[in-house]
Chains A and B, each alone.
Chain A
Amino acid sequence: MAITLPELPYSKDALEPHISAKTLEFHHDKHHNAYVVNTNKLIEGTELANADLAEIIKATVGKSDKVGIFNNAAQVWNHTFYWNCMKKNGGGKPTGQIAERIIKDFGSYEKFVEEFKNAGATQFGSGWAWLVLQDGKLQIMKTSNADTPIAHGVVPLLTVDVWEHAYYLDYQNRRPDYLSIFVDNLVNWDFVNSCLK
């Protein structure tokens, strides 16, 4: 059972002008696809050949002889999750259950935004910033390179990719601008709410 590359949940130009079609084309068709291809190559003929993505990630995390499999499989998972975290005309204040949870656990939406953007801006090098559910509480988390909350029993609710390839064609070195745009114009809060259930 090979791992497959999911389609983007919207057209390549759907997130313009915030994320360009060119960025989505490289990011999905080249980067995301390469992680899928590499994962399949690395698991072929091993005991993980028929495992699903989450099983592969959990079976390889922290194992020094399985770093290549973990990196590629976790990146497949992270990117699929990231695509779902965005939509056309998204962003801004959330509605539904997540809105109440954010106020309860962060004090205000603005405080959440500040902490989430700070995590993205201070993840040095490549990685991801996350809103997660851990021990029954919403928390902000950042992970390096391919690392992912699902490898650590933490429930991801929202992520932003801060590998440079996610924003360099559109924002170059201005990662903070990309993070602001993501929060204000792209977040798919319906998807975040669906992850809470």
Chain B
Amino acid sequence: MAKYELPKLHYSYNALEPNIDAQTMEIHYTKHHGTYVTNLNKAIEGTNLEKLSLEETLRSVSQYPVAVRNNGGGHYNHSLFWEVMNPKEKGNPPGSFSDALNNTFGSLDDLIKKFSEAAMGRFGSGWAWLVLDNNGKLSIGSTPNQDNPLMDVSEFKGTPLLGLDVWEHAYYLKYQNRRAEYVANFWNVVNWNEVAKRYANARK
């Protein structure tokens, strides 16, 4: 049996409408994410990576073939992306997590501004991130392609709390060249409870 599986999506394809359309969700989840899972399983088959967790694999990804980096990153990043969005959780970061964000960035609006700049500044394909960095500080940055902040090859490092996919496949059917509009609408569907949970876990 293959080690990695496409995780269950906890909402329907149309749940994030109108911010993210159902057709984009379906293709993105079944085709793009599905292909990363298939190719990751192929890349690790018969190697000792079958015994490592995905996080462990990514932390030492420089030692493995580039297919592990691209598909392992693709699987991790998309799995996180589906979880940090939720149509029902629209609102603000909860309690103590909100305090932490305000202490670091000034306000939620300042965080959104900085994160959006990271998303807009990523030329080509990639991801924007809010992470807890290795000094225990909240930090915003971006990575190219399917790299992520866990990877030893990444210039921007930390534990991912919130990620936004800025590959064109994430928004082109609905927004075409208007990445800025997609990034602005993302904030309508952020699942702040999930982000806060990841923050609490990262601090343990």
Contact A26-B32, Cβ < 8 Å, known A145-B123, A164-B125:
no
Whether the pair A26, B177 counts as a contact (CB closer than 8 A) is yes
Please tell me if A101 contacts chain B, counting CB pairs below 8 Å: no
Count of A interface residues, CB-CB < 8 Å: 20
Chain B residue numbers with a CB within 8 Å of A30 are 176-177
Instruction: Scan B101-144; emit 1 where CB is below 8 A from any A CB, else 0.
Output: 00000000000000000000001111000000000000000001
Query: How large, as a class, is the contact surface on chain B?
Result: 20 to 34
* Complex Cα spacing A195 to B146, Å: 35
* Complex Cα spacing A125 to B145, Å: 5
Min Cβ gap A141→B in Å is 17
Min Cβ gap A25→B in Å is 9
Whether the pair B123, A164 counts as a contact (CB closer than 8 A) is no
Min Cβ gap A9→B in Å is 21
**Sampled A-B contacts (22; CB under 8 Å):** A26-B177, A30-B176, A31-B177, A34-B177, A67-B123, A71-B123, A124-B66, A124-B146, A125-B126, A125-B146, A164-B125, A164-B169, A164-B172, A165-B172, A165-B176, A168-B169, A168-B173, A169-B173, A169-B176, A173-B27, A173-B35, A173-B169
Which residues does A use to contact B, with CB under 8 Å?
Answer: 26, 30-31, 34, 67, 71, 124-127, 144-146, 163-165, 168-169, 172-173
Which residues does B use to contact A, with CB under 8 Å?
Answer: 27, 31-32, 35, 66, 70, 123-126, 144-146, 167-169, 172-173, 176-177
